[in-house]
Amino acid sequence: MPTTHANVSPEEIARFDKLADRWWDPDGESRPLHDLNPVRAAYVADRVALKGAKVADVGCGGGLLSEALAAAGAQVTGIDLGERVIGIARLHLYESNLAVDYRVQSSAELAATEPAGFDAVCCMEMIEHVPDPEALVNDLAAMLKPGGMLFMSTLNRTPVAFGAAILGAEFLMRMLPRGTHHYAQFLKPSELARLLRHAGLELEDVSGLGYNPLSRKAWLSRITAVNYLLCARKPA
Ligand code: SAH
């Protein structure tokens, strides 16, 4: 039987843990996440009544989205397997005066201990870093209450995404450390949609996430070729 930590790449966790100290620096390596955060938080807030909702943020990192959701009134559980990033996420609560339940925990553990426990589950910019995306999606589906909503964002596997996320961000602009992303692990929206369907979820929307790293502006778009956001519902 696989252990509950099987679906994790330790090199990936170590890579993010190294960035933990600078996670909340809007000009540090998490800069694109800072710039994308208001758009994706609004995407979630437009589809879920966040006040009092129980929300899981899976692969929460230093807690950018977790805090935005908590500020909107959600009761957020943020999980990540990076001990340092969770440490930073907890520390930042002293600055923001928000409450988030941060845990060093795998998606499999949360799905097993709180099945059907959440009104909404978010998993942003994380699935491209796990060895078994299908197992992750099954965990996320298991966390949702019937009628609950899943939100995910990730990078598409297209030449344009390779150009923007790897050549552009890692090599030309040196915005992200080299090796942050692996092209072969990017998922096309159709592939992710299939995983969602197999997990019993109904896809409700796929939107492109536009981003200009020079102006640092981000917006929803019809172009899903680089980064995209989607939401899916667990049937009631
Ligand atoms: N979701 C956050 C952080 C994205 S960075 C945001 O969008 O702002 C990716 C995060 O996924 C990192 O914090 C990393 O530690 C975490 N991660 C990668 N693989 C993981 C796994 N198998 N289980 C839990 N967290 C993982």
Q: What tens digit of pLDDT does each residue of 143-198 get?
A: 999 999 999 999 999 998 888 888 888 888 888 888 899 988 999 999 999 999 99
Measured in residues, the chain has a length of 236
Residue whose CB lies within 8 A of the most ligand 1 atoms, among 7, 9, 16, for a mutation test: 16
Give the containing element (helix H, strand E) for 209.
strand 202-212
Per-residue pLDDT at 3 exceeds 80: no
Could you tell me which of 145, 55, 152, 59 has the C-alpha nearest to residue 105? 59
Across the range 86-105, mean pLDDT stands at 98
CA of 60 to the centre of ligand 1 (A): 6
**Which stretches of the chain are DSSP H helices?**
10-18, 31-45, 64-71, 83-96, 107-113, 133-143, 159-161, 189-198
Contact criterion met (CB below 8 Å) for 199 and 141: yes
Measuring from each residue's beta carbon to the nearest atom of ligand 1, which residues come in under 6 Å? 7-8, 12-13, 16, 33, 59-61, 64-65, 80-82, 85, 106, 124-126, 129-130
Q: Taking all residues of the chain, what is their mean pLDDT, rounded to a whole number?
A: 95
- In this prediction, residue 1 carries a pLDDT of 39
Q: Known binder of ligand: residue 62?
A: no
In contact, 193 and 203? CB cutoff 8 Å: yes
Mean pLDDT along residues 106-118: 98
CA proximity to 141, closest of 75, 190, 196? 196
What domains can be seen in the chain, in order of their start residue? 10-153+187-206+229-233 (3.40.50.150)
126, 127, 143, best to mutate for ligand 1 pocket (most atoms within 8 Å of CB) = 126
The label of the residue with tokens 């995306």 reads 133
Tens digits of residue pLDDT in 207-224 = 999 999 999 999 999 999
Choice between 6 and 135, residue whose per-residue pLDDT is larger = 135
59 assigned to a ligand binding site: yes
The whole-number average pLDDT for the span 193-204 is: 98
pLDDT at res. 6 = 83
pLDDT at position 5: 57
Lowest-pLDDT choice from 61-70, 120-129, 132-141, 158-167: 158-167
Residue 2 has pLDDT above 80, yes or no: no
- Of 76, 86, 80, 96, the closest CA to residue 23 belongs to 86
